Amino acid sequence: MTPLVNVNLQRLNTLAVPSVAANFVRATSITDLRDALAWAQQRQMSVHLLGGGSNVLLPERIDGLVLQPALRGVEVLEEQGDTLLVRSAAGENWHRFVQFCTAKKYYGLENLSLIPGLVGAAPIQNIGAYGVELCDVFDHLQALNRSTGEVEVFDKNKCEFDYRESVFKQRLRNQYIVVSVTFRLSRTPQIHDHYPAIKQELLGLKRSAITPEVIAHTVMELRRRKLPSPDQIPNVGSFFKNPIISVESFEKIREMYPDVAAYDVASNQKKIAAGWLIEKAGWKGRTEFGVKVHEQQALVLTNPNRGPAKQVLMLAKAIQSNIKARFDIELEQEPQFIE
C-alpha cells in the first residue's frame, strides 16, 4: 500500500478551507484500514481520520497520514414482524442512505434527511434534527480498534450517547474507526411531527395525509430554505451546540428577552437556541476576518472566500466571547479541529 503524497484536501471538506495532507489513503475495506494503520505505525506517524469533511476544521497542512474510510454497502440483517435491522457501511453518504431507506419503506430516519456527511460519522456526533436523534434509531455499530486491529461491536449503552456526543468523541477519542452502523427501523410509519417548524409546515394537512415521505420532503424543504448548501456556500452546518442551562439562568434571560427560544430538557434544565443568542447579539449576517455569519441562520458560519480555518476560528471565538459577556453562556463549537 502506497499512500498519495501532498494531497489537496480543499474539495474534501465542506468548509473549503485550504489544507494539504502529507500522506493520504482512501480505504475501501477493513483490510485497507489495517494496512494503512500498520504503514503509519511502522513510521511512527500520526493518523487522522477524514470522513465526508462536513464536521471538521482542517489546518493548512496535516503531517502524518490522513485516512479516509470509504467502505460501501447496505444490507438488511434481520426482519421480525415490522422491525428491520438495516446495516450500512461507514463510507455510504448519509442522505442517500436515508433516501434509500425511505424509498424501501424502512421508516425512522426521515427527520434526519439532507444532513451532510457519511454514515460512519453519524454515531460519533449522534447527529440530530427536527426532534429525532440518531440514538433513537440506533441498534449497534462495528468499529476497528486502532491498536489491536480487531473489529468490536458497540451497542447503544457502550456508545454513551448524549447531545451531539458519544464515547468516540470523549473517552475513546481517536481509538476506533467505525466501519458499519446498524439501525433498528420499522415498516410501520413512525411520524415525528412535533417539532415546531415541522408543525408549522404541515398546518392544514389531515393527519392521515402525513406520511414518512411527507415528513422527509418537509425536512428537506426546511433545510434548503434555512441552511446554505456547502456546494454553493462553504460551511459545516450548525457551528455551535445549543447550550443547556439551568431554569434559573433561563428565567433571568427571559425577563430581559421574552422572545427567547428554548426547549425543556429536564425539570431543572432548558436547551436554549444558540442561533437565537447569536442573532440577538447582532451577529447575523456580519462578516469578520473574511468569514460570514449566514444572513438566514445565525448558527451557520460560512467561508465564502475559502480562507484558512484560523480565520473561521477567529470569528467563532469572537462570537463565543460576546455571548459569554452578554448572556453568561458558554457556546461550544460542534465541528472538530484536526491538529
What rounded mean pLDDT belongs to the chain?
Answer: 95
Each residue of 96-124: pLDDT tens digit?
999 999 999 999 999 999 999 999 999 99
Q: What is the pLDDT of residue 147?
A: 95
229 catalytic per annotation: no
**Does domain 4-69 bear CATH number 3.20.20.80?**
no
For 235-337, CATH number out of 3.30.465.10, 3.40.1350.10, 3.40.50.720, 3.90.78.10 equals 3.90.78.10
Q: Tell me if residue 79 is catalytic.
A: no
Distance CA 44, CA 326 (A): 46
Looking at 19, 54, 113, 238, which residue is catalytic? 238
Tens of pLDDT, residue by residue over 238-289, are: 999 999 999 999 999 999 999 998 888 888 899 999 999 999 999 999 999 9
The CATH code that applies to domain 74-226 is 3.30.465.10
Check 160, 213, 288, 334 and give the catalytic one: 334
Could you tell me the pLDDT band of residue 293, with boundaries at 50, 70 and 90? very high
**Which pLDDT does position 264 carry in this prediction?**
85
Counting beta carbons within 10 angstroms of the beta carbon of residue 6, is it exposed (0 to 12), middle (13 to 18) or buried (19 or more)? exposed
Give me the pLDDT at residue 17, please: 97
Q: What is the pLDDT of residues 129-152, one digit of tens each?
A: 999 999 999 999 999 999 999 999
pLDDT at 280: 95
Is residue 11 among the annotated active site residues? no
Q: Give the angle subtended at the CA of 97 by the CAs of 75 and 301, to the nearest 5°.
A: 150
Residue-level pLDDT at 208: 87
**What would the mean pLDDT of 205-232 be, rounded to a whole number?**
92
Given the residues 34, 87, 164, 223, select the one marked as catalytic: 164
Q: What pLDDT shows up at residue 267?
A: 82
User: What's the average model confidence in pLDDT over 123-128?
Assistant: 95
Tens-digit pLDDT profile for residues 20-35: 999 999 999 999 999 9
User: Is the entire prediction scored with pTM above 0.85?
Assistant: yes
Q: What is the pLDDT averaged over residues 80-90?
A: 97
Q: What is the pLDDT of residue 270?
A: 92
Q: Where are the domains of the chain?
A: 4-69, 74-226, 235-337
Nearest to 213 by CA among 101, 85, 75, 95: 101
What is the C-alpha to C-alpha distance for residues 69 and 75, in angstroms, rounded to an integer?
18
Interacting residues of 135 by C-beta distance below 8 A, sequence separation 6+: 123, 126, 156, 159, 161
User: Which string of b and e fits 301-330 if b means at least 16 CB within 10 Å?
Assistant: bbbeeebbbebbbebbeebbebbeeebebe
pLDDT value of position 37? 97
